[in-house]
Copies of this chain bind each other. A is one copy, B any other.
């Protein structure tokens, strides 16, 4: 019998899942549309069947040790998805209870950014680290904080919402209802807003003047900057400046060994890493200077969300075995 974990990433559009072995190899993966079923029970029935089908396809000799789930508005303590604005199922969904009954193995859920941080520790570039932060840059800015070798969930299960620290109390409106949150500046949407602000304030010609807000993408801004477009370059500089200076506050909280940056915007490489590092250093108090690494994630591939989810199980089983010694 070969022991495997199942990692599930529930996104607004697709649910991806995979079967992962001890070494972090994804043996099988597939996906299904998240929002096809208005009733959660129908959705979970299809998902469970698809997982069972995947197991049969992969080998007749597999034993699942647990299932990890990354999902929006997930609560680790309660095993629920709660009032997720981007999902069709309303209210509180007891997904862990339902899946545990169906598979009879431990099921662990958390949000996707926490799962990314755990994935970094179990399979990625933070394998030897006990204190680090992962920043995920997608439509918004997510984060996971590890201290003393443990993911910080907080009292209520909502720790590490660094997308919503305040950059400027008189700044940009945020979807959360606040004003001036970090993710309104630093995210795929944030850098688009910055491009539009720069186009409004300045008179320089830019190849981005011909593109609508809806059509504009991180990839376009990156390619423009690489071709030397001054507005695109300034947008990256501004994004890195705000990210770096706010990360200095995060260092003063948990004194991490490294900060990993994951997701679309991080693929721009030095365009985003260079100003982030520069402005982080400029804002650190002396005891922290030249010590905190800002690194790309070690899980920059299609399977990252599956590995993140699956790592929740590995961590859970590691802890259980250390308690039983």
Which parts of A243-261 form the interface with B (CB within 8 Å)? 245, 248-250, 252-257
List chain B residues, Cβ under 8 A from A1. none
Q: Are A285 and B253 in contact (CB under 8 A)?
A: no
Query: C-beta contact mask, A117-146 vs B, less than 8 Å → 1, else 0?
Result: 000000000000111100000000000010
Set B148, B164, B256: member contacting A150, Cβ < 8 A: B148
Say yes or no: is A159 at the interface (Cβ < 8 Å to chain B): yes
CA–CA, A245 and B168, complex, Å: 11
Considering residues A145, A252, A286, which has the most beta carbons from chain B within 10 angstroms of its beta carbon? A252
Q: Are A164 and B255 in contact (CB under 8 A)?
A: no
Set B157, B158, B288: member contacting A158, Cβ < 8 A: B288
List chain B residues, Cβ under 8 A from A252. 160-162, 164-165
Q: Are A153 and B148 in contact (CB under 8 A)?
A: yes
Query: C-beta contact mask, A304-322 vs B, less than 8 Å → 1, else 0?
Result: 0000000000000000000
Say yes or no: is A41 at the interface (Cβ < 8 Å to chain B): no
Say yes or no: is A166 at the interface (Cβ < 8 Å to chain B): yes
List chain B residues, Cβ under 8 A from A23. none
Closest to A180 in B: B283
List chain B residues, Cβ under 8 A from A161. 252, 255, 285, 287
Give the oligomeric copy count: 2
Closest to A258 in B: B155
Closest to A293 in B: B155
List chain B residues, Cβ under 8 A from A130. 155
CA–CA, A115 and B291, complex, Å: 25
Say yes or no: is A178 at the interface (Cβ < 8 Å to chain B): yes
List chain B residues, Cβ under 8 A from A177. 285-286
Query: C-beta contact mask, A2-31 vs B, less than 8 Å → 1, else 0?
Result: 000000000000000000000000000000
Top 7 A-B residue pairs of the complex, sorted by shortest distance between their CB atoms: A154-B255, A155-B257, A159-B255, A131-B155, A165-B249, A164-B285, A147-B152
Beyond the given A160-B255, A162-B252, A166-B249, could you list 19 further A-B residue pairs with CB under 8 A, ordered by the A residue number? A130-B155, A132-B155, A145-B253, A145-B254, A147-B159, A148-B152, A150-B150, A152-B255, A153-B255, A154-B255, A156-B257, A158-B287, A159-B253, A159-B255, A161-B285, A164-B285, A165-B252, A178-B285, A249-B249
Interface residue ranges, A against B (CB under 8 Å): 129-132, 145, 147-148, 150, 152-162, 164-166, 169, 176-178, 181, 245, 248-250, 252-257, 283, 285-288, 291
